[in-house]
Amino acid sequence: MRQSGIAIVLLFVLMSTQLLGQASEQRLTAKQAVSMDYFATVSTLILYDDFTDPKRRIAFEETWEEVKRLLEEIENQVSLSVFDSDLSVFNALEPGQRMSIREHTANITAISKEMWEESQGLYDPSVFPLVDLWGFSPRFHGHSWKPTQPYDRDFKDGKTPPPDEANIQSLKALVDFGRIKLSSQGQKHYLTKEMPNIVINGTAIKAQIDYGGIAKGYAADRVIDLLRSKGYQYGYFICGDSSISVMRHPENGGFELGIGSPRGGHKPFMYTSFESAALSSSGDYNDFYTVDGVIYCHLINPLSGFPINMPEENQLQSGIATVALLGQNAAKNDALSTMLCVMGFEAALDYANRNFKDQPYVFVLFQQGRNTYEVVTNLRPDQYRMVDSHFVPRSTLDAQGKVTYTGDLFAQGEDSAMMP
């Protein structure tokens, strides 16, 4: 059964509470604006201000219109659902061709290049042909899907057989973000496609890229930049179900955040508080289908060509259901959380222990057939509270900030072949 759109990150705020601003003794209240017009998801803006002043109410509405224009600009440049976006046009290019791109596309490409290098290829926007092969590209999300590619299989009752191994290996040849070249001349930016086509059953297949794993985080970062440029100090912006950027709460600084269950709904299983930061999440919950009890999800390992968490033969499926990562940059958090999911838990925890001493994170681990989940985090016990008994903390934190796994789903100290 195919499912999508489970909200993994939920912000819990008491919207009706009137708050007293510390500096000016103004009565600050929360005002909300919501849109479903961008990135095929829900965008939510919450700001606190003295809305008893008519000028501040007008300013809020004008700011919301600017936010929507910004979201539209970003979507029109990088969304594959927009036929003339920069990425849609680029994906149609032949090998060796170059095209001019706009500012947001150039910015997101530069960030993606940085994260591709940091992850040693585990985050790779050029994995898109494999995403399409497994049935997770935008063309599969409507009700009018028809076979258009030589590797397409029949979907029946929301199920499909896995792709042929030969097609997986063929399309892996298109995965190399290093052969997508970003260049600039003055104020102009260009993308060049250096990857040759491959041929499957007589049909040429082109290299393609997709920034769906980073664009919403980038949008959240840019919205917060816009809000701060207008003098707003208190509030937050949510882009979809995986990216939140937060300023401050006018009363106590931090907002209480609930991280939702990756299975069977979005009720939070734990809460934590933070301010002036961005939180992103990735996992196998957002877009997946199940065949013979095995979850096939939209996160594809660029090195293997398979979805994450694939079980060994005659073994129960287990792995990372969710990674939630807190930091200062939502776009980079988006890429890093995807990378951690692809790495597998043992390598991901090792990477986190080496690189995230001061950056909070949460792993949610699952095993097929279990009705409980293991939670691994570098948050101290006094920094979070659990509210669902199906989610059980399975880690310890020492004085140096190193996390030790104490659960039984994974062998402690097991090496991984894919550890940056």
Predicted local confidence at residue 221, as pLDDT? 96
Query: Does residue 362 contact residue 377 with C-beta atoms inside 8 Å?
Result: yes
Residues 339-360 have pLDDT tens digits of 999 999 999 999 999 999 889 9
Position 317 pLDDT exceeds 60: yes
Position 106 pLDDT exceeds 90: yes
Q: Which of 9-13, 86-90, 322-326 has the lowest mean pLDDT?
A: 9-13
Query: Does residue 330 contact residue 245 with C-beta atoms inside 8 Å?
Result: yes
CA distances (Å), origin 163, targets 49, 151, 209, 317? 53, 8, 20, 19
Angle at 268 between CA 263 and CA 269, to 5 degrees: 80
Q: Over range 20-27, report the average pLDDT.
A: 48
> What is the three-class DSSP state of 349?
helix
Residues 133-184 have pLDDT tens digits of 998 888 887 656 778 899 998 766 656 678 999 999 999 999 999 999 999 9
Residues 237-257 have pLDDT tens digits of 999 888 899 999 998 778 988
Q: Where does the pLDDT of residue 295 fall: very low under 50, low under 70, confident under 90, or very high at 90 and above? A: confident
Predicted local confidence at residue 156, as pLDDT? 62
Which pair of structure tokens corresponds to residue 198? Answer: 């491959």
> What is the three-class DSSP state of 286?
coil
Residues 64-79 have pLDDT tens digits of 999 999 999 999 999 9
Q: Over range 28-40, report the average pLDDT.
A: 94
Position 10 pLDDT exceeds 70: no
Which pair of structure tokens corresponds to residue 375? Answer: 């939670």
Predicted local confidence at residue 267, as pLDDT? 85
How many Å is the maximal CA-CA distance in the chain? 72
Q: Which of 14-23, 250-259, 317-326 has the lowest mean pLDDT?
A: 14-23
Strands 243-246 and 3-4: unpaired
CA distances (Å), origin 288, targets 61, 138, 323, 404? 37, 13, 16, 30
Residues 398-420 have pLDDT tens digits of 999 999 999 998 865 443 434 44
Q: Over range 271-283, report the average pLDDT.
A: 90
Domains by residue range for the chain, with CATH: 1-23+79-223+240-420 (3.10.520.10)
Q: Judge residue 285's burial from the number of C-beta atoms within 10 Å of its C-beta, 0-12 exposed, 13-18 middle, 19 or more buried.
A: buried
Which pair of structure tokens corresponds to residue 355? Answer: 């690189």
Residues 372-396 have pLDDT tens digits of 999 999 999 999 999 999 999 999 9
Average pLDDT, the chain: 88
Angle at 292 between CA 286 and CA 297, to 5 degrees: 20
Predicted local confidence at residue 419, as pLDDT? 41
Predicted local confidence at residue 157, as pLDDT? 61
CA-nearest of 216, 263, 266, 271 to 244 is 216
Position 26 pLDDT exceeds 90: no
